[in-house]
Amino acid sequence: MSPTDKKDKPAVYQRVVLKNASPYHYMKVCLVLEDESTRLSAVDLKQFIISGLKSLYGEVGAALTFDLLKYDEDTLTAFLRVYSRGLVKLWSSLTLLGSYQNQACAFRVLQVSPFLLALTGNSRELQLD
Amino acid sequence: MVKMSVDLDQTPRSLLVCDRSSFLNEKNRISSQVEQLHFNYKVSVLLPECSSAPSHLDAVFNSFNSFYLIRNMPIYELLDKHFLKTAVYQGSVYGVSYRTRIDEDNCVALMPNGQLSLSLDKDSFELLGAEGKPSRFNHRTTCRYVVCVDLTDSSMAPGGRGYQRLLTGLRSRLQLKTDFLLSHHPGGGASLQALLSRYDWSEHRPDVSSHTLTDLSCPALRSCDLQSCDPHSLLEWIGAVDAHISCENSSSSFLSSLVCPEPKTTVSRALSVSICGLLLPQDVHRLIQQIRYYLEQPRLESWVSLTVHGFVDSPVSWGGNEHGVLRGGENFYSLLMFHDHTYQLHLATGAHDTCPL
C-alpha cells in the first residue's frame, strides 16, 4: 500500500460498547436543615458526610474516598463523586444522617448517575413559567 | 443457617457506546443517530481557544426552533381530526408531556412519524381500556404499561374502531390531561393554531446562554486516531467544564481529587454555549454542519465538543424504544469533532433503556 493510498483512506468505523464500566458515580445532593439560616463551608460539609460514614460503617467505612466536586453555600447543594463500588455505602450514610450540631437535617438526593455530564442536563430542571 | 450475600458493590446497568468514524466515510450513521433522539432538552457546545462565537455559529445557536407549552391539555386533542390532517400526517410534529415524571406519573410522547406513546400506571391503563403491553422494565409486579399507536396507520383512521376506542378512552374514561410541549417544523406552524386557540398556551424560544472560561486545562485531543484519553475520563472532564467544576486539584487536597485526564494541555480561553428547551434533531444537524465548517478553518485547537441531552421523562428514547427512569434517566450523546472530519461519538444511557443504535 503506497503512502498516498493510506492518506486518502477515510477512517474505519469502529464501535465499542461498554457496560457498567464507569469507575465513578456522581451524586447531586442538597442538605436541608431545621434552621434554614445555618451556613456550612465545603470543608464542614465533607467532614459531616465522613462522620456519617463513620457512624454507619465504622473506621473502614469512613475511609471510603469521595470527592466534593462543587458546592453552593447558598443553596447547600453539592456534587459528589464516589467510586461505583462505594455508591451504596455513601448513599445509605447520607440517608441516615439525621442531625447536624443538634439540629435536625436531611440530605435530599436530587440525582445520581454514572456520568457527570448527565448531572448538568437534567430536563426536570426545565422551568418555563 | 441461611446465607445471605448482600452485594453492596452493585450499581444499576449503564451503557456507553463509543463510535469512531469520519464524516467522509459514506457509511457513517451520524444522521440517523442524531435523528433517533427525538426529544432533546439541552445542547451544549465547547469551543476551545475561542472567546466569542463567529457569526455563522452564533446565527445557528439563536435560530433553534421555538416551541409551545400548552397547559393542562387533554390528550384526546392529539386525536383531533383537523390536527391529524394538518399536522400529524404531514410528519413533522414533536410533542412530549411536561412536568410529568416517568417513574410516577402518566407520560405522553408524540413522534414525528405519527407514533403516539403513552406510559401509564396500572390503574390508568385499566381505566383507558386500550390495547397495550406491560412495560419492559417492570420488576416482579406489573405496575407500568405502555400504549403505543401509529396514528398514520389505517386502523387508526378517524371513524375506525381502533380510533374510536382510544378516543372514548381518553375523553370519557381516563380523561388524561397534562402540560404539553409541542414543537413544529418552520412553515408548518399555522396548522397548530386551531389546537392552541382552545387552551392556555405560550410560545417559548430555547434559552441560549454562554460563558467564557480562561486558562482551562484540557486533555490533549489531536485527532481521532491518536486518541489516548479513555471515554469515561473524557466525558467526566466535559461534564466538569459544563458544571463549572475546577479540575485544578492537588492529590493531597481534602475536598476533591478530580483532575484533567492526561496527557493534558492548557488553553488560554474557551467558550461554552448551552441551549435549553424542546430542541429538534433538525436543528442539531444544522449545528453539526456549521461546526464542521468552523473546524475547516485553521485553528489553534482542532476539535469541538457537542453534547445533546434527551428528556429524562420521555416515554421513548433512541428511536421508538421504551425509556424509563430507575435511579436516573440519562440519555445523552457527546460528539467530539476534529478538523480532519473524523469524530468520536459517545452515546450514554441508563438501566431502563435499550442500547442506542
Which single residue is written with the C-alpha cell 486558562?
B215
* Residues of chain A positioned with their CB less than 8 A from the CB of B345: none
Between strands A77-83 and B40-48, the pairing is unpaired
pLDDT higher than threshold 80 for residue B223: no
Mean pLDDT of A98-125: 95
* Residues of chain B positioned with their CB less than 8 A from the CB of A42: 255
Report CA-CA distances (Å) from A104 to A28, A36, A58, A75, A99.
20, 11, 22, 17, 4
pLDDT digits over B301-342, tens only? 889 999 999 999 999 999 889 999 998 889 999 999 999 899
Q: Do the Cβ atoms of B229 and B221 come closer than 8 Å? A: yes
Query: What's the sign of the alpha-carbon dihedral A86, A89, A92, A93?
Result: negative
SS3 content of chain B, % helix, strand, coil (to 5): 25, 35, 40
Verify whether the Cβ–Cβ distance B309 to A14 is below 8 Å. Answer: no
Q: How far apart are the CA of B326 and the nearest CA of chain A, in angstroms? A: 10
Opening angle at CA B270, ends B269 and B276, nearest 5? 150
**Distance in Å from the first CA to the final CA of chain B:** 47
Q: Which residue type, as a one-letter code, is found at position A110? A: L
B183: left (phi over 0), alpha (psi -120 to 50) or beta: beta
**DSSP-assigned letters across all residues of A5-41:** HHHHSPPPPEEEEEES--SEEEEEEEEEESSTT----
pLDDT digits over B133-169, tens only? 999 998 889 999 999 999 999 999 999 999 999 999 9
Give dist(CA B179, CA B202) in Å, integer. 11
Closest chain A residue by Cα to residue B96: A123
Nearest to B316 by CA among B329, B303, B327: B329
Verify whether the Cβ–Cβ distance A14 to B19 is below 8 Å. Answer: yes
Bridge partners, B95 (sequence order): B110, B182
Mean pLDDT of B96-110: 95
Which of A24, A47, A83, A117 to mutate to probe the B interface, most B CBs <10 Å? A117
Task: Output the pTM of the full model.
Answer: 0.92
Name the more confident of B189 and A45.
A45
Verify whether the Cβ–Cβ distance B258 to A81 is below 8 Å. Answer: yes
pLDDT higher than threshold 60 for residue B221: yes
* Residues of chain A positioned with their CB less than 8 A from the CB of B313: 123-124
Task: Residue window 2-41, chain B: list those with CB within 8 Å of chain A.
Answer: 8-11, 13-22, 24-25, 27-28, 41
pLDDT higher than threshold 70 for residue B225: no
Interchain CB contact of A15 with B (< 8 Å): yes
Largest Cα separation within chain A, whole Å, is 76
Task: Residue window 69-98, chain A: list those with CB within 8 Å of chain B.
Answer: 69-70, 79, 81, 84-85, 87-89
User: What are the backbone dihedrals phi and psi of residue B165, each rounded to the nearest 5 degrees, phi first?
Assistant: -65, -45
Q: Which residue type, as a one-letter code, is found at position A97? A: L
**Distance in Å from the first CA to the final CA of chain A:** 62
Lowest model confidence (mean pLDDT) among B24-28, B31-35, B77-81, B310-314: B24-28
**B149, three cell numbers:** 399507536
- Average pLDDT over chain B reads 91
